[in-house]
Structure formats: structure tokens, C-alpha cells
Amino acid sequence: MITTSFFYLTILMFIASILVYSEAKTKANFFEYLPPIVILYFTVMSLSSLGVWEKTDEINHTYKAFKSNLLPAMIFLMLLQSDIRKILKLGKKILLTFFLASISISLGFIMMFALLQKLFEPDAWRAFGALSGSWMGGTGNMVAIQSALELPDSKMGYVLLIDSIDYAIWVMILLALVPFAKQFNNWTKADGTILEELGSKLDTVKEKQNINFPSLFMLLGLALMVSVVAQQIAPLFPTTSFLTKTTWIVIFATFSGILVGMTPLSKESSAAPLANIMLYLIVALIASRANFSELTEAPLYIMAGFMIIAIHALFMIAFAKLFKLDLFSLGVASLANIGGVASAPILAGAYNKALIPIGVLMAMMGYIIGTFMGLGVSKILEIIVS
């Protein structure tokens, strides 16, 4: 049994690194449907359920210190890659489609919870609030909201179950619809001719600088300093039952990332790997406190996830007819929210390789708004319960 903090952290990092390395080297299709970060969560949770480590004072202190200090740094680095000026170049119609997708997902959460909330335990709104952050942004947004809402780590299993099972099926459905784009566009009377021209103008790769030791070291120091400043400033703001100290830390780190993302630092490629290392460690830390015995309502949560997606899809079809939207914009906007940068470019590339940058930029937009939209949805869900 593990009782020391160094051994505890080493095991978590080792498991995470092996999974990431395996995906990169094998490029197995398996990882497309079950991402390494999901496998990481359930692997670590299995070890926790088996009692591989003991919750000693040393391990408990290490868990709290690393999670609370790395979270703001991870949020900052994640958003550092999102230059909002490039996103605005996507044009009004594509941005409209993205926000319509976000709004319809929000409505899906609210309508589902209003109908089914009596079937869940009283604090279930926190779990769905965290999931809404993921489905309008990414895993980083989900972790940020989980901390802001003080959702117990044991309940994150439900969130990741929905996020993996329901999301994987939705990706398959959207990919299967690609051959029917022409018929759909004729039905909505959409003009898709500008997409190829727009895709050729957007290049999100060439401007990136190579990963190097100086930039890696500098960004690590900067991110950790943002974390320190965020935690020092947060107590100065007024708090409520919803706007806690942690919420203010998340908000400060988010705005810092957005602002610095408009500087030349956004071109530094070192931000992405650093953010991902921190994200994987945070997810592993969360999983290390969970237990399979606590996931007694998994089928109900999975069904709720499908209900949210169904409501989202119906709203998007109605919006497509109303605003004459094409299937490409519709599908990529949906995945930019629900799947993020891991899947939106894949769907975009299924239509045309030149359109991949549009998928990347739309997913980056999700990183920017995901935390704020998720916190908004969480507040409405809390009101429904009360």
C-alpha cells in the first residue's frame, strides 16, 4: 500500500504518461472512441477502489496542494493558445452557428434537468454543471467548473462516463451524416461556397514556433505565477454560495489566459504540452479520490446525456432551417462544443482538408466561453433544484 506523497504522485504521472505515449505511438482507432484521459480516470479510480494508496495526512496534503495550485496554471496555459482575434476572422455566420450550438446545448441541460431532476440526488446539478463546461468547451473547462462548484471527486465518474459514451456515439452520427451534406444544404437553402475560401485563408499551424527549452521554462514560470496571483487576489472579491473563492480564482486565470493570448506568447507551442501535462495530472488526482462503489446511478446519467444531445440536435436542425445553415458548420459547431479540439478538426477534415483550421478555431472558441457558459448553466440548474 502506498503511503508517501512522492510514490503517490509518481504512480499517477507514470500511468498518465504511458497512456499518452501509447496513443501517440500506436495511433490505434481504439483511442478515438475512448480517449486516454478517460482511460486514465477509470484506471486510477480502479486502483483507488482496490486501496492501492492510503489517504494519509501526507497524501491528502499533496493532493490538495497540487490540485489547487495547478488548476489556475492549467487554465491560463490552455487559453493562451486561443487568440480571439483569429477566431473573429471566421465570419459572422460561422460564429453565429457556434453560439447557436452553445445555446442549444445549454437548453438541453436545462430542459433535461427540469424534467428529470427528481430522479437524481440533490447535488446532481453540480455534476451536470461540470459536464456542461466540457460540452461547451473541453476537459479543462470541466475540471475548472468542478473545482468552482466544489463537486466531490467521487461524482466525476458520472461526468466522464457521459462525456465518453454519449460523446463517442454523437461523433459517429455526425461523421455518418457527411455524405448527406448536399441534400441537407438544399433543404436549408444554405450557401456553402464561402467555406473553401475561408479555410484556405486560415492557417493555425505555420505561425506556431517550435517547442524549445527557454519558452517551455518561461511559460511554466509564468503559469505558476498566474496561479499564485490568482489565489492572492481571489479573497479580495465578495463571495456567495455560488461565487466562491475558487470560482474567482478560475475567473481570474481565464481572463489572464484570454488577454495574454492576444500577445506574441500565443504563438509559443510549449503552452499546449504544458497545459496537457497539468490537465492529466489533475484528472488523475481527482480519480485517485473516487471509488466504483459510488457510481450507483450510472445508467440514469448516461440516459440523461443522450437526452441532452437529442434536444441539442433538434434545436440545431430548427436553427439550420431558420438561418439557412449548412451541415458542415452545424456539425463542426456541435463538435467544437461537445468534443473540442480533439474531434472538431476531424469532422471538418471529413468534409475537406482545407476546412480543418475552421474546426480548430471553433474548438478554441469553446475553451474561451466554456467555463463562463458552464457556470451560467450550473446556476440555472441550482435554481431548478431550489
For 111-147, write each residue's pLDDT tens digit. 999 999 999 988 899 999 999 999 998 888 898 899 8
Average pLDDT, the chain: 86
Higher pLDDT, 165 or 99: 99
Task: Tell me what the mean pLDDT of segment 302-309 comes to.
Answer: 94
pLDDT value of residue 362: 86
CA distances (Å), origin 211, targets 18, 29, 276, 281, 363: 21, 27, 14, 21, 22
Task: Tell me what the mean pLDDT of segment 270-298 comes to.
Answer: 84
Q: What is the pLDDT of residues 325-369, one digit of tens each?
A: 889 889 999 998 998 777 787 788 788 766 777 887 888 888 888
Band (pLDDT 50/70/90 cuts) for residue 211 is confident
Band (pLDDT 50/70/90 cuts) for residue 165 is confident
CA distance linking residue 60 with residue 63, whole number of Å? 5
DSSP-assigned letters across all residues of 313-366: HHHHHHHHHHHT--HHHHHHHHHHHHTGGGTHHHHHHHH-GGGHHHHHHHHHHH
User: Is residue 296 scored above 80 in pLDDT?
Assistant: no
pLDDT value of residue 207: 55
C-beta atoms surrounding 235 within 10 Å: 10
pLDDT value of residue 244: 81
The dihedral sign for the CA sequence 274, 261, 254, 38: negative
**What percentage of the chain reaches a pLDDT higher than 90?**
37
pLDDT value of residue 196: 57
The structure's pTM equals 0.81
Higher pLDDT, 162 or 209: 162
pLDDT value of residue 105: 96
CA distances (Å), origin 60, targets 34, 57, 280, 385: 29, 5, 18, 32
233 phi and psi, to 5 degrees? -80, -35
pLDDT value of residue 205: 46
Tell me if residue 53 falls in helix, strand or coil: strand
- Mean pLDDT comparison of 51-60, 85-94, 340-349, highest-scoring range: 51-60
